[in-house]
């Protein structure tokens, strides 16, 4: 699945819903399973509730019926998380991705976090996916035992783990209940994670190479591991260089170069510096996404 970016109008700074619709309409025919609207790559922490709701509405009306829609609904309070979850369900979303409350980090013991997720799952009208946010952000690091405990709840169906550690993925796969879906957030780990039992990925790099990411999963599922591995060799370096190395600004600038609507991040995030734009174009060219002549115009 693609954790989509959120385009903003360069003049007003408002969410550009027309551009979001255009991107979604280009992504959905590429073989991806679904879209996550309102995740870290989508700058969800900068969106108010009305903006999230409008994004969910536009996307739900723009995709074919087979597309799985997941909404990022995690907030600092349980009350807000529940309200956002109901809003997403009302828009027709199939599941929610819930990041943990982390501002009062010292008070967020495993027991408190467990109770938070159980309270969400008990009342959510759609299934819940736990979100292990990248630990380089201001967030919590989930013990495997906590995730194993949460996996026993019938309405908690999986976790997106964005720590980028294969051994951690292995722990989650072996310790959680049968049928619980472990999804990786690192595009450099998809193939290896599938080998050890992960169900798939929610990959920032899939904004740029959705077809390749979908093909890694499809070829692996078909037993053609050699082909899946070859595609992974192209996708992994792109993830490391752009998603891991440049963040949201790099992903959005790359989208502009690839014919999508990227634009600038919402302040206080800054656009990708001019000094790194040539480097970005080189990575895209190396991945076969840009013609060599495009470097001069990047």
The ranges assigned to domains in the chain are 2-224, 225-298
Nearest to 263 by CA among 5, 3, 17: 5
Looking at residue 296, its pLDDT comes to 43
- Res 137: pLDDT: 87
The pLDDT of residue 292? 63
User: Which CATH superfamily, name and number, covers 2-224?
Assistant: Aldolase class I (3.20.20.70)
Report residues of the chain scoring pLDDT below 50: 293, 296-297
Q: For 164-214, write each residue's pLDDT tens digit.
A: 999 999 999 999 999 999 999 999 999 999 999 999 999 999 999 999 999
- Do 70 and 96 form a contact (C-beta atoms < 8 A)? yes
Active site residues: 160
- Say what the pLDDT of residue 291 is: 83
Of the candidates 151, 196, 183, 186, the one whose C-alpha atom is nearest the C-alpha of residue 165 is 186
């Amino acid at each position: 699945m693609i954790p989509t970016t959120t385009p903003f109008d360069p003049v007003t700074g408002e969410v550009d819903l027309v551009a979001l619709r255009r991107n979604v309409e280009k992504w959905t025919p590429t073989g991806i399973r679904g879209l996550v609207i309102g995740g870290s790559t989508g700058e969800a922490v900068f969106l108010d509730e009305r903006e999230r709701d409008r994004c969910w509405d536009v996307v739900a009306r723009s995709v074919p019926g087979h597309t799985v829609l997941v909404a990022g609904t995690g907030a600092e309070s349980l009350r807000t998380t529940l309200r956002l979850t109901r809003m997403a369900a009302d828009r027709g979303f199939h599941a929610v991705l819930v990041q943990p409350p982390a501002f009062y980090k010292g008070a967020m013991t495993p027991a408190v976090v467990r109770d938070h997720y159980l309270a969400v799952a008990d009342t959510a009208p759609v299934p819940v996916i736990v979100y292990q946010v990248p630990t380089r952000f201001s967030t919590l690091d989930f013990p495997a035992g906590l995730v194993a405990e949460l996996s026993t709840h019938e309405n908690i169906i999986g976790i997106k783990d964005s720590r980028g550690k294969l051994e951690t993925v292995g722990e989650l796969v072996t310790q959680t209940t049968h049928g619980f879906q472990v999804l990786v957030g690192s595009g450099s780990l998809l193939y290896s994670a599938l080998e050890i039992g992960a169900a798939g990925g929610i990959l920032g790099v899939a904004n740029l190479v959705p077809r390749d990411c979908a093909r890694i999963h499809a070829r692996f599922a078909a037993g053609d591991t050699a082909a899946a591995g070859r595609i992974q060799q192209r996708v992994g370096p792109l993830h490391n260089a752009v998603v891991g190395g440049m963040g949201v600004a790099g992903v959005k600038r790359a989208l502009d170069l690839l014919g999508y609507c990227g634009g600038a991040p919402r302040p206080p995030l800054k656009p990708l510096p001019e000094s790194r734009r040539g480097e970005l174009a080189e990575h895209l060219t190396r991945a076969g996404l840009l013609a060599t002549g495009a470097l001069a115009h990047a």
